[in-house]
Amino acid sequence: MHWAYEIAKRIILTDPDLETYTLASGISPSGTVHMGNFREVVTTHFVAQALKAMGKNVRFIFSWDDYDRLRKIPSNIDVAFSEHLGKPYSEVPNPFGEGTWAAHFENEFETSLKTFNIHPEFVYQHKEYSSGRYLPSIVRALRKRKEIYDILMEFKTNGSSEDERDAFYPATVYCKVCRKDDVHIESFSEETLTLTYQCGCGVKETETLDSVFLKLNWKVDWAMRWSVEGVKFEPGGRDHSSENGSFAVSKVIADRIFDYRAPLYTSYEFISQKGSHKKMSSSSGSVLKAEDLLDVYPPEVVLFLFARHRPESAFHIGLDDDVIKNHSEFERALSAYQDGSLNDPVMEQVMDLVASDITSPKVPFNQIAGLLPLISFRTDLLASILSDQGMTVQTEELEEISARVKHWIQKWNPEKEFKVNDDRQMDYFLSLPDDTKRQVHLFRASIAAGADPMHSVYEICRQEDKKKMKSAQKALFQTIYMLILGKKNGPRLPLLLSAVGKDRFMALLAF
């Protein structure tokens, strides 16, 4: 059983009679949302899809923690924005235009999610806090602040102190004047529900809680939101999932402070870009965005990459030859899925999650990547060549895959930009063994007679010893590619012949 269905089954077993199952994800808009963050939302998305497949109603919420403080300026943003450190993301100006910091990065990611047909209900924490919706929970947390302190101390090795316990508040206050969180809470009155605080800017206030710009600290906030929203499942990154990590602490806080059983939880490993062992981080400013992948993969292939890996398994995403491999694996799985020959229950569920609405076969990415550079990336010629090979492709699909191939080759793999040789490679031909020269002459004569180039190679190299025959075939293919392209590999020979044209193909083999 696929991992998403395993989790869905466990959710139902834990709460068998719910009318609606609420699943949650959430991140802070600290910078560009990257593909590491995407694992947070796509994990929940797959579990939601599995629950729906089991006939359950699902509410999938995605919380933007945009009432968090700005902690660090990413390297791709002007250091002058340091003046806003300590303000909530929802009140920091947009570094790239109009609006706010939070809105810019939220809109960027929400737009990309639509491309993947992922449509959670977005919850913006700055709105929830300012609306007063959380006020009863905030009052409860402040009244039980010493109990929360005791819980936090259970997960720490350093000792507690009574003075520290008396001074502890599980919340952050934003100053009403400077809007920063350089604020010290001095006292809280349980009778009048007023808070007295002083900011580093000099402001000192005593206000009722409904007037204070206050946010519960992370581990308390997380537990509080589970109880308010009725969350039954939420994933979390490895950094939250250790024995003494955020989830373990918030689980206890949910139980003892908010009388709520923590949701079913699964940790997910970080992903990285191939060639880098660093964790992706929005605050670093150097990340792999959804748009970067969508420039070389259709959405269903990106989803396929995430669906086939269990959340707790780390993996990397490559933009080198892995692109060919990933496309090919998806195309093979899709073909088998569509014709009923998949014979793999787990992969069947993977394809249910990512490709159930795809009705036609996919044009092989590798085939297009081999052809397109030879014809100067002209899709009109490409359509004609594919038609000659008996392939019927919709114009829109061909343009989409051609755009991805062109971007992938020109940005990430310029060595794939094959170029047909201008002249015969006489020096190379003369360096070949006599038997190989004879094979080239036979191959050219076979093409001149109208034979299929693949069949010609197989016939020329046919011999009793299968191992030697395969070796001979490989060597002849490499020789032909060298004589035509100057490289030892290229597109399948029938496609190469169509792209180059028979006259030019024959001329480059005339020795």
Confidence class of residue 278 from pLDDT cuts 50, 70 and 90?
low
pLDDT at 63 over 80: yes
Mind listing the pLDDT tens digit for each residue in 134-144?
999 999 999 99
| Mean pLDDT on 268-279 | 71
23, 229, 240, 305 from 268: Cα distances, Å: 16, 22, 10, 14
Helix (H) or strand (E) holding 372: none
69, 101, 217, 422 from 65: Cα distances, Å: 9, 12, 12, 59
425, 484, 503 from 507: Cα distances, Å: 11, 10, 6
Between 381 and 325, residue with greater pLDDT: 325
CATH of 426-508, one of 3.50.30, 3.40.50, 1.10.10, 2.60.40: 1.10.10
Place of tokens 């940005």: 411
| Mean pLDDT on 316-339 | 92
Q: Which stretch of 169-173, 237-241, 426-430 has the lowest confidence by average pLDDT?
A: 237-241
What share of the chain has pLDDT > 70, as a percent?
98
Between 159 and 466, residue with greater pLDDT: 466
| Mean pLDDT on 397-402 | 90
- Mean pLDDT, the chain, whole residue set: 92
- Of the candidates 68, 61, 66, the one whose C-alpha atom is nearest the C-alpha of residue 122 is 61
Question: What is the C-alpha end-to-end distance of the chain, expressed in Å?
Answer: 59
As a 3-state breakdown, the chain gives helix, strand, coil percent values, each rounded to 5, of 50, 15, 35
Q: Read off the tokens for 418.
A: 């094959």
Confidence class of residue 157 from pLDDT cuts 50, 70 and 90?
confident
- Please indicate whether the domains covering 3-134+219-284 and 323-416 agree at the CATH topology level: no
- Give the per-residue SS3 of 214-262: EEECHHHHHHHHHHHHCEEEEEEEHHHCCCCCHHHHHHHHHHHCCCCCC
CB atoms within 10 A of CB 479: 22
63-67, 355-359, 446-450, 463-467: which is most confident? 63-67
Class of 3-134+219-284 in CATH = alpha beta
Mind listing the pLDDT tens digit for each residue in 81-99?
999 999 999 999 999 999 9
pLDDT at 281 over 80: no
10 Å CB burial of residue 30 (0-12, 13-18, 19+) is buried
pTM of the model: 0.88
Are 304 and 333 in contact by the 8 Å Cβ rule? The answer is yes
The domain 323-416: what is its CATH number? 1.10.10
| Mean pLDDT on 332-348 | 94
| pLDDT value of residue 285 | 46
Angle at 288 between CA 286 and CA 291, to 5 degrees: 125
244-258, 270-284, 356-370, 415-429: which is most confident? 244-258
| pLDDT value of residue 286 | 54
17, 261, 401, 404, 499 from 377: Cα distances, Å: 57, 57, 11, 11, 11
Q: Where are the domains of the chain?
A: 3-134+219-284, 171-216, 323-416, 426-508
Mind listing the pLDDT tens digit for each residue in 174-233?
999 999 999 999 999 999 999 999 999 999 999 999 999 999 999 999 999 999 999 999
pLDDT at 351 over 70: yes
- Of the candidates 116, 119, 90, 107, the one whose C-alpha atom is nearest the C-alpha of residue 32 is 107
Residues forming beta bridges with residue 25, ordered by sequence position:
62
CB atoms within 10 A of CB 367: 20
Per-position DSSP letters for 384-399, written without gaps between them: HHHHHTT----HHHHH
Q: Read off the tokens for 174.
A: 């934003």
Q: Which stretch of 117-126, 201-210, 356-365 has the lowest confidence by average pLDDT?
A: 356-365
Are 405 and 416 in contact by the 8 Å Cβ rule? The answer is no
57, 116, 247, 362, 400 from 338: Cα distances, Å: 28, 21, 41, 11, 22
Distance in angstroms (rounded) separating the CA atoms of residues 303 and 120: 16
| Mean pLDDT on 328-355 | 95
| pLDDT value of residue 76 | 83
- Of the candidates 260, 282, 226, 236, the one whose C-alpha atom is nearest the C-alpha of residue 74 is 282
Distance in angstroms (rounded) separating the CA atoms of residues 256 and 500: 73
CB atoms within 10 A of CB 321: 12
List phi, psi (to 5°) of 440: -65, -45
Distance in angstroms (rounded) separating the CA atoms of residues 429 and 436: 9
| Mean pLDDT on 390-395 | 78
Mind listing the pLDDT tens digit for each residue in 282-313?
554 457 888 889 999 999 999 999 999 999 99
Question: How does strand 57-64 pair with strand 121-124?
Answer: parallel
